[in-house]
Structure 1
Amino acid sequence: MSNDIRIKRGLTLRLKGEAEKTLVDAPRSKTYAVKPPDFHAVIPKMVVKEGARVQAGDELFFSKYTEKIRFTSPVSGTLKEILRGDKRRILEVVIEADASDEFREFGILDPLKADSEAVKERILESGSWAFINQRPYDIPADPKDTPKAIFVSAMNTAPLSADVEFILKDRMEAFQAGLDALTRLTPGKVHVSVSGKGEGIFNGLKNVEMHKVSGPHPAANVGVQIHKVDPINIGERVWTVQPEDVANIGDLFLTGKYTAVRTVAVCGSEAKDRKYFRTTIGTPVSDLVGAVDTKNVRIISGDVLTGEQVNNEQYIGFFPNELTLIPEGNKYRMFGWLPFTYNNIPSNSRTSLSWMFPKKKFEVNTNLHGEERALVVTGEMEEVMPMDIYPMQLLKACMAADIEKMENLGIYEVAPEDFALVDYVNTSKIEAQEIIRLGLDLMITEVG
């Protein structure tokens, strides 16, 4: 039995360059990397040095403030380099991979027959805890907390996003085992949200509460689903896990080995080989997209709204299932400010005629089409915000660092990704996601 969630406010962006439903195993890379900046609010403390031998599942570093949260190697090999940035901040831990992996054995365990502490300890010692995030704040979950519920959004509505059903179609046993493990971490429910078109491969899942979600983006955002199903109040915790990472956790219990599988959809109008690649977390970008002219092409680890810019010499992020390639916005339109002149970009405004072609797919670039300017009350932010909050007022409260107003306006319920469409549609061109991230960081520091 499932519950229906219908989202009315939002915006679906239809872009050219969707990945074909073809799955191939990516060739084994020479090096892989774990990037501590992928885990917000984690200060890494290294436990191995350059030149050390590691097995897949061996600890590389732990969180300075929560030592039980360990981050482990996705492959076996030799720790080649610890790349540091400003103030010696660790940016990448690079492993030179063996020809084949040697795994640290953690032992097979049935999560439904084990007690909750044994399940939690198994996830922690293997490094699989890195897959679990918490709301509020959108940071790695604290194992000392007890969440009131756990949410898994088994669907995507972002532009050119990967198809979750296609990714998991041959991993459903592991997905169910992962869900069984998650049920041992909370006294509440494990919620799984699927596309309103039908449950598909998720029909028959056990020990979870199903939700059919329909509507435009950001309907698939887990924060929107939490808001509609079980909103977060002050002092409460909700944990979230991505669907493929649920399967990775399930594989840990089925095989006794740390699994770091990442299925990446290479997409975008500038991608030459648009398909799904099954690879390992931390794969080099160049091994999936080939040689790319980064002066004219933007490579994004993630989707076009929330992803991070990377280049050929870097590595994919820990969480995203997409590598998106679109043109750089280094060409400007003559008289581009005139309404109805250019209609080759999807717009939420009627000054462009794109609204007359709801099924047309567009080729977009990274041009902002204007500079940052003052906030003006237009109502455009509210049109794409399906939560019952006031986005402009919350942004202003974050910019003013007014903690009391931030609490009253719903800062505990949001994450930067929930403001991605606000970034896209607002005429002020402000960086809404960055403002929300800074606001959340302030709440962590001042409230905890």
Structure 2
Amino acid sequence: MSKDIHIKKGLDIKLKGKAEKATKAASSSSVYAIKPEDFHSIIPKLAVKVGAKVKAGEAIFYNKANADMKFPAPVSGELVDIIRGEKRKILELKISADSTQEFIDFGIKNPKEMNGEEIKAHLLASGCWPFIKQRPYDIIADAAKAPKAIFVSAYASAPLAANYNYVLDGKEKELQAAITALSKLTSGTVHVSVGKKGKSPLEGLNNCTIHNVSGPHPVGNVGTQIAKINPVNKGEVVWTITPQDLVIIGELLLTGKFNSERIIALAGSSVKNPQYLTTKIGASIDSITKGKLENGSIRIISGNVLTGKAQSLKGALSYYDNMVTVIPEGDDYELFGWTAPVFKKISTTRALTFSWLSPNKKYDLNTNTNGEHRAFVVTGQYEEVFPLDIFPMQILKACMYKDLDEMESLGMYEVAPEDFALTEFVCISKQPHQEIIRKGLDVMLKEIG
């Protein structure tokens, strides 16, 4: 089997505001927040109370269904607030950071000398286990089920995404330690995908198989790579992890410290000088964007424009994100705009739009959906941007009417919501594809497990 992965189906959305390859330290955040909603299907149980002093890496809550799965504080400081919602559901935990950081010492480990069970126990105890996710269901991996393979996508193809070759430069030792550890957790292979163009810090690593990927987005999605390398069948499990989280695991093994620091991209057409910033998991959005945004009505997104979540300045960087995108808010409307030729928007159709004439043009798009929610219209557009060997329209409808047998037969075990971000983008019916898939996966998780 070739180690190269190339796809033709997809769509590159070229936007203005790509981050320049220059890294600065973000403003110091006084408060860091962890949101349990970032860990889908987890019911949190508190390990500390408001007013408690915690160190970086100390567990602040754990999984109710598995007390061994711990979720650590990204910084040392005082737990100052717990935000609750309906039925006292925990929405957010806020930590006031110390000026001088203290870390729990988990001990220096050599992954070459450890077996799989020792590595698994160490990752659970240190709070690094939540970085490992699984398919099916796109949830935190079940430590009791061994995966047939582990996948790492070190190539980001999403709009304005952070360049992994840049942000991981100089982290080869941490990456190698983490890959060595992960290789002990599966009887199969650790598959690492890198861009065909450019030099990746992961290319020379041992204990893994390197794949070169090329093509339009979503070639960088780990789901696309899984489908091309080793698809998930019923009864099988694969694990996935992002490169920036590999660095945290590697540093834990080499130093004994849980260091939540990461380099993120601040990008988008509403950013004055798009750039890379050094910050930590859970940092306030205000500390990342302060003094860097254009005036006017804007939307701040933790993550990329296709899969990220809208945040306010009082919000926080989501647990798994390595970028913040800022674009104009789509709160303006064009009178009879649908009747005139369109030159400033992207479309996969040629009806009144001319983006196909300038394939390399960069656009300043806003959040306007340019239409209202309506019933599904069969156009064949989804199949043009969906590279998986799955019928996207049919699987979406199966999720909506909750037909488990049909969902299984159509390949539901392979997919995650992010795999349907592009079909949602091109959908003329304005259907929330990612939300539909997430609800379908939740039904399967509850009924089948």
TM-score under structure 2 length normalisation: 0.97
Q: Specify the code of the residue in structure 2 equivalent to 1:37.
A: E
What is residue 382 of structure 1 aligned with on the other side? 383
What is residue 71 of structure 1 aligned with on the other side? 71
Mapped partners of 1:181, 1:24: distance in 2: 31
Mapped partners of 1:398, 1:287: distance in 2: 39
* Worse-matched range after superposition: 376-385 or 27-36: 27-36
Mapped partners of 2:379, 2:6: distance in 1: 25
Mapped partners of 1:428, 1:280: distance in 2: 38
Residues 223, 415 of structure 1: 8 Å contact kept: yes
Mapped partners of 1:180, 1:26: distance in 2: 32
Is 1:327 aligned to residue 328 of structure 2?
yes
2:96 counterpart SS class: strand
Residues 136, 415 of structure 2: 8 Å contact kept: yes
Matches within 5 A, 1:24-423: 24-290=24-290, 296-338=297-339, 341-351=341-351, 352-423=353-424
Mapped partners of 1:294, 1:403: distance in 2: 48
Q: Specify the code of the residue in structure 2 equivalent to 1:381.
A: Y
| Count of residues in Structure 1 that have an aligned counterpart in Structure 2 | 447
Residues 43, 64 of structure 1: 8 Å contact kept: yes
Mapped partners of 1:294, 1:40: distance in 2: 35
Q: Specify the code of the residue in structure 1 equivalent to 2:207.
A: N
Mapped partners of 2:87, 2:294: distance in 1: 31
Mapped partners of 1:67, 1:6: distance in 2: 42
Query: What is the CA-CA distance between 1:199 and the residue it aligns to?
Result: 4.5
Query: What is the CA-CA distance between 1:294 and the residue it aligns to?
Result: 9.4
Mapped partners of 2:295, 2:424: distance in 1: 23
1:22 counterpart SS class: strand
Mapped partners of 2:422, 2:27: distance in 1: 35
* Worse-matched range after superposition: 168-177 or 8-17: 168-177
Query: What is the CA-CA distance between 1:295 and the residue it aligns to?
Result: 7.4
Mapped partners of 1:129, 1:203: distance in 2: 24
Query: What is the CA-CA distance between 1:2 and the residue it aligns to?
Result: 7.3
Query: What is the CA-CA distance between 1:25 and the residue it aligns to?
Result: 2.1
Q: Specify the code of the residue in structure 2 equivalent to 1:387.
A: L
1:210 counterpart SS class: strand
Query: What is the CA-CA distance between 1:203 and the residue it aligns to?
Result: 2.7
Mapped partners of 1:5, 1:274: distance in 2: 30
Residues 194, 203 of structure 2: 8 Å contact kept: no
Query: What is the CA-CA distance between 1:284 and the residue it aligns to?
Result: 0.3
CA shift digits 1:228-286 (9 cap, x unpaired): 10000111110000001011100010001112122210000001231111111010000
Is 1:432 aligned to residue 445 of structure 2?
no
Residues 270, 294 of structure 2: 8 Å contact kept: no
CA shift digits 1:70-110 (9 cap, x unpaired): 00111111111111122211111111111121111110011
Q: Specify the code of the residue in structure 2 equivalent to 1:348.
A: T
Q: Which runs of 4+ in 1 moved over 4 A?
A: 291-295
Query: What is the CA-CA distance between 1:338 and the residue it aligns to?
Result: 2.0
* Worse-matched range after superposition: 75-84 or 197-206: 197-206
Residues 2, 209 of structure 1: 8 Å contact kept: no
Residues 199, 212 of structure 1: 8 Å contact kept: no
Residues 170, 201 of structure 2: 8 Å contact kept: no
* Worse-matched range after superposition: 78-87 or 402-411: 78-87
2:93 counterpart SS class: strand
Mapped partners of 2:86, 2:270: distance in 1: 32
Query: What is the CA-CA distance between 1:201 and the residue it aligns to?
Result: 2.8
CA shift digits 1:353-386 (9 cap, x unpaired): 0110011100000001000111121110000100
Query: What is the CA-CA distance between 1:293 and the residue it aligns to?
Result: 8.3
Residues 191, 208 of structure 1: 8 Å contact kept: yes
| Structure 1 gap segments, 5+ residues each | none
Residues 151, 226 of structure 1: 8 Å contact kept: yes
Residues 162, 321 of structure 1: 8 Å contact kept: yes
Mapped partners of 1:126, 1:47: distance in 2: 14
Mapped partners of 2:343, 2:198: distance in 1: 34
CA shift digits 1:131-154 (9 cap, x unpaired): 110111110011111011100000
TM-score under structure 1 length normalisation: 0.98
1:182 counterpart SS class: helix
Mapped partners of 1:156, 1:2: distance in 2: 21
Residues 419, 433 of structure 1: 8 Å contact kept: yes
Mapped partners of 1:230, 1:198: distance in 2: 25
Query: What is the CA-CA distance between 1:27 and the residue it aligns to?
Result: 3.5
Mapped partners of 2:389, 2:442: distance in 1: 22
| Structure 2 gap segments, 5+ residues each | none
Q: Identify if the C-alpha distance between structure 1 residues 188 and 199 changes in structure 2 by more than 3 Å, giving closer, same or farther.
A: farther
Mapped partners of 1:293, 1:360: distance in 2: 22
Residues 123, 129 of structure 2: 8 Å contact kept: yes
Mapped partners of 2:284, 2:73: distance in 1: 15
CA shift digits 1:31-72 (9 cap, x unpaired): 111111000000100010000010111110001112211001
Residues 272, 294 of structure 2: 8 Å contact kept: no
* Worse-matched range after superposition: 81-90 or 307-316: 81-90
1:201 counterpart SS class: coil
What is residue 11 of structure 2 aligned with on the other side? 11
2:327 counterpart SS class: strand
Residues 66, 142 of structure 1: 8 Å contact kept: no
